[in-house]
Structure formats: C-alpha cells, structure tokens
C-alpha cells in the first residue's frame, strides 16, 4: 500500500491569456489531495476518468482510496492533484521507477485527454513540483518561493473551465480589436509582476489590474466581484479571480495580520474562505496508514 499527496494551486496572474501562449504565474497552495493505492487482485476504485487514465498510462491494476481537502471543480486544481498523486502512488506501489518529470508529463497528457485537449500544463506542473511556476508557451520555470499570505474565497457558484475558455475564444473572434490588446495587457501585468514577487503590496496592485482585465474578457461573476471587493475593503493588498472565472474561486493577497479579518469578510458574503499559503514540496509520499 502506498499513500502520496499533492497540492492544489492558484493562478496569481495570466489565466486565460496562457491559453494564447501568453505567460502565466501559478502557485501551489496548502490544501492537498491524499491518494492511497494498493496492489490487489480485486481492484476497488471510485469511477473517475482521471484515475482510469492513471492506471491505463502505468499499465497496471489496483485499488484506490482518495481523501481530498480541495473542493472539486472550483479552480483550485483538484483534478491535477488527484492525477499527480495517483500516478506517484502507483509508481511507488508497483516499483515502476518513473521520475518526477515523467509523472508531470504523464499527468498533463491525462488531463489533456480527459479535458478534450483543453488543458495547459499549469496545474499538473505546479502540483508535481510545488512552489511558484512561470508558464509561457511551451516552457515552464520555477520561480523563487515567497511566503505570501493568501485567502481564497470559494463563491460556491459552479462553473465550467471549458465553457469559460470557449466564451473567451468567441469574444476574441468577434472583437479581436478589443480582446487582443487586453491579452497583451495581461501579459504586461504578468511580466511586470514577476519582478515584484517579494513585495506583496506591489503584487496586490498587479492582481487588481489583472482582475480588471479579466472583467473585460467577460469571465467575472457578481458573487466573485462581491468577494473581491469585500476582501479589498477588509485590507487585502489585492484580489482577483483565480482560474477560469464565471464562478469558482477568487484569491486575495493579504497582510499577515489581516488574513483572518479578510476570511471573515468573505464568509460574511455567503462564501467559503480558505486561509492558506505556499506549498513548496509538491507531490510527496505520506506515511502508510
């Protein structure tokens, strides 16, 4: 029996723009998914195309037990975390000798297949390696980790990443004269923000700029706007949607002393708050239970 866990993630900058080859910056965060795999003759496992993809890719059969701290379909990368942790647990339980890089690449291929080609390597890279990752076109690079204090607000409004990506594609087709410069501006924000990762006050300003540009792309939602404004009013340096938008989560960058006040303001707006910070480890082996 082998138990491995992998972290979730937030997009600090550049969601949607990454779909068009622009840069994005994402960070692994503390809620984790725990996956136990057992080599058994009679496998038992939850029905999931991600789990099926993991066993097919590894060419073995076994049982799986999943325990997730990450709300699913909320933009916090739960499917990538499940995939990365499952591949790693299979690798360990069946002694298959895959490297971390193999796991990251296989996880990306599985996500891409399940999501019918609509996946960037962001979630699977961040979940495998942890820390802060810069994605641009085909390249992925780890940035120096920073001790950022984050509060996530889950709007509890369901959304579909594929639908939001499609909606932006349609808007871009209809109004390239507006949307193309907005994507360029998001790139400008990400490329400037990268030089201020150790300055939360400045970084918060860039997050607010990114949020305004995401609104132009039409991926906002009234409840997300409420949570973003509540977080800023309660003292956040900056706040924005994280991920596809249209529902799902927002993220606020906070002064340490205000994070619980900001979480309270989010909860008071009929949402679920998660106080969190960076995960620098990525996927890791847990003690067998």
For ligand PMV, which residue of 244, 251, 262, 273 counts as binding (CB under 6 A)? 244
For ligand PMV, which residue of 12, 19, 217, 274 counts as binding (CB under 6 A)? 19
Single out the segment in contact with ligand PMV by CB under 6 A; choices: 10-18, 89-97, 258-266, 281-289. 10-18
**Interface with ligand PMV includes 276 (CB under 6 A)?**
no
Of 273, 31, 70, 235, nearest to 155 by C-alpha is 273
Contact criterion met (CB below 8 Å) for 22 and 136: yes
**Interface with ligand PMV includes 32 (CB under 6 A)?**
no
Residue nearer to ligand PMV on the CB measure, 75 or 238: 75
For ligand PMV, which residue of 2, 8, 16, 197 counts as binding (CB under 6 A)? 16
**Going residue by residue from 111 to 150, which x/- string records binding to ligand PMV, judged by CB under 6 A?**
--------xx-x----------------------------
Q: Which residue has the tokens 């971390």?
A: 100
**Interface with ligand PMV includes 28 (CB under 6 A)?**
no
Displacement of CA 220 from its chain's centroid (Å): 17
**Interface with ligand PMV includes 18 (CB under 6 A)?**
yes
- The CA distance from 101 to 114, in Å, is 20
- Count the neighbouring beta carbons within 10 Å of the beta carbon of residue 101: 10
- The CA distance from 141 to 134, in Å, is 5
Of 81, 84, 76, 120, nearest to 101 by C-alpha is 84
To the query of whether residue 56 is one of the catalytic residues in this protein, the response is no
Residue tagged active-site, from 102, 123, 184, 279: 123
For ligand PMV, which residue of 7, 31, 62, 75 counts as binding (CB under 6 A)? 75
Give, as one character, the DSSP assignment of residue 256: G
**Interface with ligand PMV includes 165 (CB under 6 A)?**
yes
Q: Is 131 helix (H, G, I), strand (E, B) or coil?
A: coil
The radius of gyration of the chain's CA atoms, rounded to the nearest angstrom, is: 19
**Interface with ligand PMV includes 243 (CB under 6 A)?**
yes
Q: What is the dihedral of CA 161, 167, 171, 174, to 10 degrees?
A: 140
Task: Write out the residues near ligand PMV by the rule CB under 6 A.
Answer: 15-16, 18-19, 75, 77, 119-120, 122, 161, 165, 243-244, 248
- The residues carrying an active-site annotation are 123
């Amino acid at each position: 029996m082998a138990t491995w866990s992998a972290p979730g993630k937030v997009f600090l900058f550049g969601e949607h723009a990454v779909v068009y080859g622009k840069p994005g910056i994402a960070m692994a965060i503390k809620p984790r998914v725990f996956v136990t795999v057992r080599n058994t003759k009679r496998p038992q496992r939850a029905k999931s195309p991600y789990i099926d993809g993991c066993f097919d890719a590894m060419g073995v059969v076994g049982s799986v037990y999943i325990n997730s701290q990450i709300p699913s379909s909320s933009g916090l990368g739960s499917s990538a975390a499940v995939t990365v942790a499952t591949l790693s647990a299979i690798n360990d339980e069946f002694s298959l000798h895959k490297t971390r890089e193999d796991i990251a690449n296989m996880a990306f291929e599985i996500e891409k297949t399940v999501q019918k080609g609509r996946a960037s390597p962001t979630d699977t890279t961040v979940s495998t390696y942890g820390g802060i990752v810069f994605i641009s076109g085909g390249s992925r690079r780890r940035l120096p980790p920073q001790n950022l204090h984050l509060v996530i607000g889950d709007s509890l409004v369901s959304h579909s990443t594929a639908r939001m990506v499609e909606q932006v594609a349609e808007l871009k087709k209809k109004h390239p004269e507006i949307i193309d410069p907005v994507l360029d501006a998001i790139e400008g924000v990400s490329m400037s923000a990268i030089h201020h990762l150790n300055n939360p006050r400045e970084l918060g300003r860039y997050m607010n700029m990114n949020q305004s540009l995401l609104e132009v792309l039409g991926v906002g939602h009234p409840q997300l706007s409420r949570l973003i404004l509540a977080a800023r009013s309660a003292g956040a340096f900056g706040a924005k949607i994280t991920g596809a938008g249209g529902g799902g989560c927002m993220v606020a960058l906070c002064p340490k002393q205000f994070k619980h006040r900001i979480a309270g303001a989010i909860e008071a707006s009929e949402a679920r708050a998660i106080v969190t910070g960076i995960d620098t480890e990525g996927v890791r082996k847990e003690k067998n239970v």
